[in-house]
Amino acid sequence: MSKQGVLMLSMALLLSGCGFDLSEKDTSANSTTADPGVQIAGSAVKGVIQRGLVVANRLIADKDGYYAPQRQASKPVLTADDGSYTWQLRGKADGWALVELTADNNTRMICDVVPGCDQPGGETVAFGQGMPVDSSFALRGAGDLKLETVNLTPLTHLAVTLAERGADGLSPGAISGAYTTVENWFGLPAGALRLTPPDLTRLDEMTSVSADAIQVAIANAAFLALVNDNSQWNSISDVLADVTSQIRATGQISIMGDGTNVALADLISAAALQSSELQAVVSSSVISQKLVVVEYRNVTRFKTIDEVDGGETSVADSGSSTDTGSTTETGSTTETGSTTETGTESGTGSTTGSGTGETATTEPTIPANAALLSWTAPLTRENGESLSMGEIAGYEVVYGTSPENLDQSLAIGDASVDELLVDELAEGTWYFAIRTLDTDGNRSRLSEVVYKQI
């Protein structure tokens, strides 16, 4: 059973070239290429785009240092049923490339919006079913050929549009900076736009997917969700056209909107709602828990929207502040982390830890009977040996109403998860601790116990 909540506790855990032609690589079994070069691969997801037409071109700088695609006459490749594509680009695996997707009458999109996707003048397409896209639909992405992966999503499309505004065109620096800016707009972790978004309609089949990847997928789904029950937008192409026109004109997205244009707040709100709705359609408790984390992140981002220039954001409608600082020592290794509690409806609360005082913060809209735990994955074992993420199988959170009797537990079978929300906590003081599990079945000692008064 997944748990929700809103207390954040950080604890450290310890465990015992230029001038080349493009060659086309068709998706059919009979298509081959003898040309040497680099293979670009990726996925087109908003939801999954099937039979989309993809082309890739190297980004080349002219004598003035302005980067633009070196377009060649090539037949597009088609995305597969899972949205994936591959493109063979002649030449060395250096430099950057622009990848573009367009649609024709055969292109389909999987509806990844719960409960369904509204169609202008037609019936609603059910969640998980295919739907046509109009001929103006397009997605773009760009990337370093050394990485050989370029995904195509609404968010990468916005990033390419933003990068084009730079004085150097689609230079590597402009693209990297634009990807980071778009991540900041949507409250995504660094590098999130390079993650391959999962198919939201098949989450139960991929319990190892990270919360970060799910968050990216839901942020992309929000563009389609805005079409529902909104006569202003007939299709996702309308939504994308509005947002990209804003970026071309100002380099930003309207924060709260003016009733005419798409607002960043609209997209974040839609993502938060989809995170919640998806919890009702998945069966996996692991996936449900990750969706709870994503919902919390989107709700938090909605509250803190202040500017969309990639800089610092300030808390909206509340004056939250956080004091942190604790050091935990276990065995032969010392880890340092912070313990943060988000306050209850009264706006106060406290946590304890070894060598640390109380901390408090205010967040008036957070439920009083819930807690959000956050931790940092260990880098070493208790004997001082290094510990890689690949060696971590997951975590076990234990909690209870007495620090000596932590009789309830929740298992997390994903090393990439670093947050757990717990709700439906009865009145009283609740104590929490966590241990790490490795792939050989070893278990760490419990972390320092922290608590919250409900």
What are the residues facing 400 on neighbouring strands? Answer: 431
pLDDT given at position 192 = 92
From the centroid of its chain, how far is CA 94?
27
pLDDT given at position 320 = 31
Tell me how far apart the alpha carbons of residues 350 and 322 are, in angstroms, rounded to a whole number. Answer: 11
pLDDT given at position 381 = 87
pLDDT given at position 348 = 29
Q: Which of 189, 179, 244 is nearest to 214 (CA)?
A: 189
pLDDT given at position 36 = 63
Angle between helices 285-304 and 264-279 (to 10 degrees): 160
Tell me how far apart the alpha carbons of residues 223 and 266 are, in angstroms, rounded to a whole number. Answer: 9
Residue ranges of the chain with per-residue pLDDT less than 50: 1-34, 307-365
Token readout for 17 is 């070239």
pLDDT given at position 247 = 96
Could you report the per-residue pLDDT of 286-321, keeping only the tens digit for each? 888 888 888 888 888 888 875 444 443 333 333 333
pLDDT given at position 14 = 43
pLDDT given at position 119 = 85
pLDDT given at position 441 = 78
**Residue labelled with tokens 């996936």:** 287
pLDDT given at position 129 = 96
Could you report the per-residue pLDDT of 255-292, keeping only the tens digit for each? 887 778 999 999 999 999 999 999 999 998 888 888 88
Number of neighbours of residue 332 by Cβ within 10 angstroms: 13
pLDDT given at position 159 = 97
**pTM to 2 decimal places:** 0.66
